[in-house]
Amino acid sequence: MTDENHIDFSLVLASSIHDMKNSLSMLLHSLDQMYGNKKPKNEDEANGLAVLHYEASRVNNDLIQLLGLYRLQKNQLPLFTDEHFVYDLLEEQVVKNNVLLTSRDITATIDCDDAFSWYFDHDLLAGVINNMLVNAIRYTKNQVKLSAAMENDHLVIKVADNGTGYPELMLKDPMGHMKGIDFHSGSTSLGLYFAGEAAKLHKRDGFHGNIHLENGGELKGGIFQITIP
Amino acid sequence: MLTDQYQQKRFLVVDDFENFRNSLKKMLFDLGGQYVDTAANGNQALKRCEQVAYDILLVDYNLGDGKNGQQLLEQLRLTKLLKHTSIFIMVTAEVDKEVVISTMEYQPEAYLAKPFTLGVLKHRLDKALRRNESLHDILSALNEDNYASAIAHCDELMRNGSRYSSWCLKTKADLLYQLEHLDEAKSIYQQAARERQPDWALLGLGKTLAKQKYYPEALRTLTTLVQNNPVALEGYDWIAKIHQEMDDYVSAQKALAKAVSISPRSPLRQQALAEVCWRNNDWDMAIEAYGRTVDLSRHSIHYGPNNSLDLARCLTSYVAVADEENIERLKQDSLHAISKITKEFKGNSEVRMQSKLIETRLYAAVRDEKKTKEMINTVEAMCDKSDARRAPETLLELARTYTFIDDKEKAEEVIARLTEEYAHDPLIAKQIDTLVETPVSQEGKDKVAQFNKIGIQHYKNDEFIVAIKKFSTALQLYPKNIVLNLNLAQALLSQLTGNTNNQEYWDRCQLCFMQVEHISETHEQYGRYIQAKKIHDSLKQPSLN
């Protein structure tokens, strides 16, 4: 390859993603405009609309995650930690997925003190929680629960569902799947890998954040847990 | 989704895409909003804000040509068109790191990443409104600049265990700092920093310590801040300020260069960097930073002729000391910068005179005597034609130029006029200091005295190298000061009369004498001058290899 052909891939990626996000934005807006205030005519139409919203937001999440992962690899992902309300963070992820929750008849609950605040990178953690919520929605029977509390002076957020739980292999080594990408569980593993890296970036007094998977709990399904020091 | 709380609110939507404007407007109507205005660019938005005090502004970062969303926010904040009780939401599809960092610097109330749904918009608006309602008394007091009342309301909310207690604590400390109740501010920052080192506490503590002149402690605190959070830009700004207070311009440059490499889009930071580079004679960096200052301020509230004039001044000063091979290129760059100023600010006669004076120095620097003479005659004719009271900047430029072309009599005349009219203005006085033997500003007087004291101390302890360094640093600030020049000369001579056969020392010594050669026989330092000069003349110039 000659120097003339050398391009800054990060720049290309960033500007393509910028462009794609704009298109996506236009797509969703025109969809809303087409429907205006009209209610969908029947169940099929309502479902179709839900799928469109769901897929669009998945593409959007994937794009953000893609750029995030690329920057992680290049050590270019700066952390913007600030104090945020944890409840607001969780609630917003539920709001984002409202259409999907309603169309699948899934109940989402939040268990977190309204005034509980913590220091973290809002966009990064929002991306992680949103991913895990979408994942839970996909595998749950009819319930998901987001909870957050302070444990041992660390913030612990859990995303639980009442589905069949995570497979044994994943429980042992949540980030291990990245060693060979499996296209069947690809998006989950990628999501977990990203979550693990995002958690690790948060550190305080020698502690790094981490993620953890388990099955059971109150809802008897899968539980994703992220700890932020 | 219809809620009454949006019925009474006045919204402004700013986006360069009509489609986005319309669909956002529709979303706001869906939420129950009734009063929604739109603007397609920053200037339109400013005009709207001059007429209507909006409650909620939704502004896209990207606004096409002209101002961007952040420059709009900055201008609205600085001109107080945006009230503390209003809500500014930055809408962005940006994934570019630079953009994200630069918007963080002016802290909008919320961000909204495209694409977003009606539900997410409502969620963000609800949260922002809830916060502003809870903090209403504080924010209203801030609108009126009534800090004491704002602090009282902060205390009240904290006593009641508000959800926003930690914001109240930070705000209270920052307001105490503004009011110069430094000890009170410091104790809040210290306690918060002990508990969990949030950025605001470390920054506040560093600023307070700096203001109380505890420089080493301030530096330690701010260094911890930027180690914890490498994108805490204000931390680097303050580190640089403190280094400058301690006359360590090299470290100041390092701190600012680091901040600029993280966030290159702030014109004020670029300007600060340019100034310290110039002081350090790092010409290329200085010129680059001045160039960026000019570009970045173009659509912002910081736009004006001074940035461009600084660039031209810096280029011209560089020409005067540059290597032969670079002179022609730099001369062309200078001329280009000057002609741009002339075109851009052609209605402003003061600016025109200043740029002509800079041009005069340029010709003098390249030893084009004919053109130098022509230019100075033109300027003098302009001066004579109007007896308008000249701006101090123009007089300073005139004094610099006369000094540079060695017209001492006229230089002194202008400096006398400047001193008489403007010595009370600390910024102008500081500039005059660079042109005269004895500083006119109190700060300058103190600094010279301080440097002299330290330098002499080292000299007496036979630490000549340190003494030379101290006197030289002071002379960078006040090159014409007689006492400093003679002290440096004496320190250099003590090295030269020893066994140090050093060409550089010899040259610098020579320069000291040149600066004071006009000393009058009645001057109290005259005896010292003659004596030192004799020693210098008795020395042989070190041989050149």
ipTM above 0.90, yes or no: no
Distance between CA B198 and CA A200 in Å, rounded? 19
Residue A36 DSSP SS3: coil
pTM for the full predicted model? 0.83
Best of A15, A22, A25 to disrupt the B interface by mutation (most B CBs within 10 Å)?
A: A25
Q: How far is A68 from chain B (nearest CA, A)?
A: 10
Angle at B175 between CA B170 and CA B176, to 5 degrees: 100
Q: How far is A211 from chain B (nearest CA, A)?
A: 22
pLDDT for the residue A186: 52
What are B232's two structure tokens? 């805490």
CA distances from residue B337 to B291, B317, B389 in whole angstroms, order as listed: 10, 13, 27
pLDDT for the residue B2: 46
Sign of CA dihedral B265, B270, B273, B278: positive
pLDDT tens by residue, A78-103: 788 889 999 999 999 999 888 788 88
What are B524's two structure tokens? 């109290």
pLDDT at A1 over 50: no
Helices (H), B135-266: 136-143, 147-159, 165-178, 182-196, 199-211, 215-228, 233-245, 249-262
Best of B95, B103, B194, B202 to disrupt the A interface by mutation (most A CBs within 10 Å)?
A: B95
Q: Which amino acid is at A160?
A: A
Burial of A205 (0-12, 13-18, 19+ CB in 10 A): exposed
pLDDT confidence band for A2 (50 / 70 / 90): very low
Best of A29, A49, A79, A116 to disrupt the B interface by mutation (most B CBs within 10 Å)?
A: A29
CA–centroid distance for A65 within its chain:
9
The residue-averaged pLDDT of B205-231 equals 95
DSSP label of A4 = G
Residue A25 DSSP SS3: helix
pLDDT at A4 over 80: no
Q: Do B93 and A18 touch (CB under 8 A)?
A: yes
Under a CB-based contact definition with an 8 Å cutoff, are residues A35 and A49 in contact? Answer: yes
Distance between CA B263 and CA B99 in Å, rounded? 8
Burial of B72 (0-12, 13-18, 19+ CB in 10 A): buried
Q: How many CB pairs under 8 A join A and B?
A: 83
Best of B20, B62, B117, B231 to disrupt the A interface by mutation (most A CBs within 10 Å)?
A: B117
- A60 interaction partners in chain B (CB closer than 8 Å): 115
Burial of B436 (0-12, 13-18, 19+ CB in 10 A): buried
The residue-averaged pLDDT of B215-241 equals 95
Distance between CA B471 and CA B220 in Å, rounded? 27
Distance between CA B125 and CA A221 in Å, rounded? 34
Q: How far is B238 from chain A (nearest CA, A)?
A: 19
**Which residues have a Cβ under 8 Å from the Cβ of B528 and sit 6 or more positions away?**
B486, B490
pLDDT tens by residue, B289-306: 999 999 999 999 999 999
Under a CB-based contact definition with an 8 Å cutoff, are residues A91 and A199 in contact? Answer: no
Q: Which of A147-156, B24-33, B415-424 has the highest mean pLDDT?
A: A147-156
Closest CA to B52 of B77, B81, B75, B32: B81
What are B196's two structure tokens? 């969990």
Sign of CA dihedral A45, A47, A49, A52: negative
Which of B32-36, B104-108, B422-426 is predicted with the least confidence, judged by mean pLDDT?
B104-108
Beta bridge partners of B309: none
Q: How far is A172 from chain B (nearest CA, A)?
A: 32
**B123 closest CB neighbour out of A25, A60, A92:** A92
User: What proportions of chain B, in percent to the nearest 5, are helix, strand and coil?
Assistant: 70, 5, 25
Which of A209-213, B35-39, B507-511 is predicted with the least confidence, judged by mean pLDDT?
B507-511
Q: Which chain B residue has the Cα nearest residue A123?
A: B113
pLDDT tens by residue, B97-150: 667 777 777 788 888 888 788 888 999 999 999 999 999 999 999 999 999 999
Q: Which of residues 102-141 of B touch A (CB under 8 A)?
A: 104, 113-115, 117-120, 122-124, 127
pLDDT for the residue A36: 57
Closest CA to B462 of B496, B491, B503, B502: B491
Q: Which of residues 166-205 of B touch A (CB under 8 A)?
A: 166, 196, 198-199
- B231 interaction partners in chain A (CB closer than 8 Å): 78-80
- B124 interaction partners in chain A (CB closer than 8 Å): 92
